[in-house]
Chain A
Amino acid sequence: MSNKYPYQILPFKHVRFNDHELLLVNEAGDFYFISIDDFDKFIGYGLPKKNDVFLDLKSNHFLIDTNIAEVIDLLSTKYRTRKRFLNQFTSLHMMVITYRCNHKCRYCQVSSEDSGSYRWDMSPETARRIVDYIFCSPSDEIKIEFQGGEPLLNWETVKETIEYAEQKNKKSRKALEFVVSTNLTLIDRNKLDYLKFHNVYISTSLDGPKSIHDKNRLLRTGGSSYDLFIKKLELTRNILGPDKVSALMTTTKDNLYRITDVVDEYIKLGFDGVFFRALNPYGLAAKNESLHYPIEEFVKSFKEGLKYIIRLNLKGIRFVEYYSTLLLSRILTHFPTGFVDLQSPSGAGICGVIYDYNGDVYPSDEARMLARMGDKRFLMGNVFKDTYYEIFHGKVMTEIVEKSCVETMPGCATCAFQIYCGADPIRNYLETKDIVGHRPTSDFCKKNKEIIKFLFEIIKDNDEDVQDVLWSWITKRDLKEIRGESFSRYSNQY
Chain B
Amino acid sequence: MVKVFQGIPINIKHPIIGRITKEKKSLLQRVNTILVTHEFRGLNFGYSVIITSQEKFHRSFFNKLRVICGVSNEDILKLNEGDVVLIEPDGKINIIWDVKSNQNCILATEECNCRCLMCPQPPKKDLDKDKRYRLNLKLLKLLDPNKTFHICITGGEPTLLGDRFFQLVELCKNRFPKANLTILTNGRKFSDFKFAKKLVGIAHPKLLICISLHADTDTEHDYIAGAKGTFSDTIRGIRNLALFRQKLEIRIVIHKLNYKRLPQISNFIYRNFPFVLHIAFMGLEITGLARKNFKKIWIDPYEYREELQSAVLFLNRRALNVSIYNLPLCLIPQKIWRFTRRSISNWKNDYLPKCNYCVKKNECCGIFTTSGKFQSPNIKPIQSR
Contact with A along B124-158 (1 / 0, CB 8 A): 00000000000000000000000000000000000
Knowing A55-B220, A475-B318, A482-B317, the reply to whether A490 touches B338 (Cβ < 8 A) is yes
B264 with A70: CB separation less than 8 A: no
Cβ of B105 under 8 Å from chain A? no
- Determine, out of B3-11, B22-30, B272-280, the stretch whose residues face the partner at the interface: B272-280
- Determine, out of B49-57, B78-86, B196-204, B211-219, the stretch whose residues face the partner at the interface: B211-219
B318 with A471: CB separation less than 8 A: yes
B268 with A59: CB separation less than 8 A: yes
CB distance from A130 to the nearest CB of B (A): 36
Cβ of B373 under 8 Å from chain A? no
Knowing A55-B220, A467-B317, the reply to whether A67 touches B232 (Cβ < 8 A) is yes
Per a CB cutoff under 8 Å, which of A56, A74, A492 touches B272? A74
CB distance from B188 to the nearest CB of A (A): 13
B271 with A30: CB separation less than 8 A: yes
B-chain residues with CB within 8 Å of residue A333 when the two chains form the complex: 270, 274, 318
Contact with B along A471-482 (1 / 0, CB 8 A): 100010100001
B219 with A494: CB separation less than 8 A: no
Per a CB cutoff under 8 Å, which of A49, A56, A70, A489 touches B236? A70
B-chain residues with CB within 8 Å of residue A70 when the two chains form the complex: 232, 235-236
Knowing A468-B317, A475-B319, the reply to whether A494 touches B268 (Cβ < 8 A) is no
Interface residues of B in 258-285 (CB under 8 A from A): 260-261, 264, 267-268, 270-272, 274, 278, 280
B261 with A55: CB separation less than 8 A: yes
The size class of the interface chain A forms with chain B is: 20 to 34
On chain B, the number of residues with a Cβ less than 8 Å from chain A's Cβ atoms is 35
CA distance A382 to B338 in the complex (A): 59
Q: How many A-B residue pairs have CB under 8 A?
A: 76
B217 with A58: CB separation less than 8 A: yes
Cβ of B316 under 8 Å from chain A? yes
Identify which of B217, B260, B318, B323 gathers the most chain A CB atoms within 10 Å of its CB: B217
Interface residues of B in 203-255 (CB under 8 A from A): 216-220, 229, 232, 235-236, 239, 249
Residue of B nearest to A67 (CB): B232
Cβ of B341 under 8 Å from chain A? yes
A66 with B218: CB separation less than 8 A: yes
B-chain residues with CB within 8 Å of residue A335 when the two chains form the complex: 274
Contact with B along A327-350 (1 / 0, CB 8 A): 000001111000000000000000
CA distance A55 to B219 in the complex (A): 10
B278 with A55: CB separation less than 8 A: no
Knowing A74-B272, A494-B278, the reply to whether A67 touches B316 (Cβ < 8 A) is no
CA distance A18 to B40 in the complex (A): 85
CA distance A65 to B217 in the complex (A): 10
A-chain residues with CB within 8 Å of residue B232 when the two chains form the complex: 67, 69-70
CB distance from A251 to the nearest CB of B (A): 30
Knowing A55-B261, A56-B264, A67-B232, the reply to whether A78 touches B249 (Cβ < 8 A) is no
CA distance A482 to B318 in the complex (A): 9
A73 with B236: CB separation less than 8 A: yes
A-chain residues with CB within 8 Å of residue B218 when the two chains form the complex: 66-67
The residues of A with any CB-CB pair to B shorter than 8 Å are: 30, 49, 52, 55-56, 58-60, 65-67, 69-70, 73-74, 77-78, 332-335, 464, 467-468, 471, 475, 477, 482, 484, 489-490, 492, 494
4 more A-B residue pairs beyond the given contacts A65-B219, A492-B341, with a C-beta to C-beta distance below 8 A: A66-B218, A333-B318, A482-B316, A494-B321
Task: List the 9 closest pairs (A to B, CB-CB), nearest first.
Answer: A59-B216, A471-B317, A475-B319, A484-B338, A494-B278, A70-B235, A58-B217, A70-B232, A74-B272
Q: List 30 A-B contacts (CB under 8 A).
A: A30-B271, A52-B260, A52-B261, A55-B220, A56-B264, A59-B217, A59-B264, A59-B268, A60-B267, A60-B271, A67-B232, A70-B235, A73-B236, A73-B239, A74-B239, A78-B271, A333-B318, A334-B271, A335-B274, A468-B317, A471-B319, A482-B316, A489-B363, A490-B323, A490-B339, A490-B341, A492-B342, A494-B249, A494-B321, A494-B341
